[in-house]
Amino acid sequence: MSDGTDPWLVVGLGNPGPEYAANRHNVGFMVADLLAERIGGKFKRAQKAQAQVLEGRVGSPGPGSRRVVVAKPMSFMNLSGGPVNALREFYKVPVDRVVAVHDELDVDFGSLRLKSGGGDNGHNGLKSMTKAMGADYHRVRFGIGRPPGRMQVADFVLKDFSSTERKELAFLVDRAADAVECLLAEGLERAQSAYNS
């Protein structure tokens, strides 16, 4: 476990632009925005990558706090790997200290799953990240469930959350941000036992 001086890179995955802001596919951006709010800073354009970044600390002040770079790639989901890897190299963050926050079809809406490594499960943002830097990064998988009926996956992820889902969304985004902070401060196993549902 680090002493808090080595940075973590927390990447919220999504698509840039107001037309995508409330889509299911953009829940990673929503969590990143909340983490930025908690840190008390504003995103700025990264010098070395097509991304918005914010540097700060998360967790309680003192030994529990962790240095973190929160990032939102501005390259569109399918090309996330290039900006993420450029940031990782610029900030000298090992792959196992990268956390991707993303929507997950195979987890029910309202549930979270944290894990390290593994496949991309058809998620194009993860596919791009894995191609760019290997698979040994952490994932905070925000459940969005499967599309209803015969709706295509691509249509489902690029639609806004339903009115019923929106009633719970702020609470769930808050919980996902808590899970990220717990992962950084206390490690994967502790975060899994507290937040996997």
Amino acid at 154: A
148-191 tens-digit pLDDT: 999 999 999 999 999 999 999 999 999 999 999 999 999 999 99
Helical axes 188-195 vs 163-186, angle rounded to 10°: 150
Task: Return d(Cα 186, Cα 182) in angstroms, integer.
Answer: 5
pLDDT at 59: 75
Closest CA relative to residue 8, chosen from 92, 82, 85: 92
Neighbour count for residue 144 (Cβ, 10 Å): 24
3-state secondary structure of 9: strand
The pLDDT profile of the chain, 197 residues, written as one tens digit per residue, is 444 468 999 999 999 999 999 999 999 999 999 999 999 989 999 888 899 999 999 877 777 788 999 999 999 999 999 999 999 999 999 999 999 999 999 999 999 999 999 999 889 999 999 999 999 999 999 999 999 999 999 999 999 999 999 999 999 999 999 999 999 999 999 999 999 98
35-47 tens-digit pLDDT: 999 999 899 998 8
Q: Give me the catalytic one of 25, 102, 123, 138.
A: 25
> CA-based angle 45:51:55, to the nearest 5?
65
Query: Residue with structure tokens 């999504």?
Result: 14
Amino acid at 197: S
User: Does residue 138 carry a catalytic annotation?
Assistant: no
Task: Return d(Cα 65, Cα 23) in angstroms, integer.
Answer: 31
Q: Helix/strand/coil (H, E, C) string of 52-79?
A: EEEEEEECCCCCCCEEEEEEEECCCHHH
Alpha helices by DSSP H, listed for 60-162, are 81-90, 124-133, 153-157
pLDDT at 152: 94
Neighbour count for residue 152 (Cβ, 10 Å): 9
Task: Return d(Cα 172, Cα 64) in angstroms, integer.
Answer: 23
pLDDT at 3: 46
Task: Classify residue 176 by its DSSP letter.
Answer: H
Q: Is 172 left (phi over 0), alpha (psi -120 to 50) or beta?
A: alpha
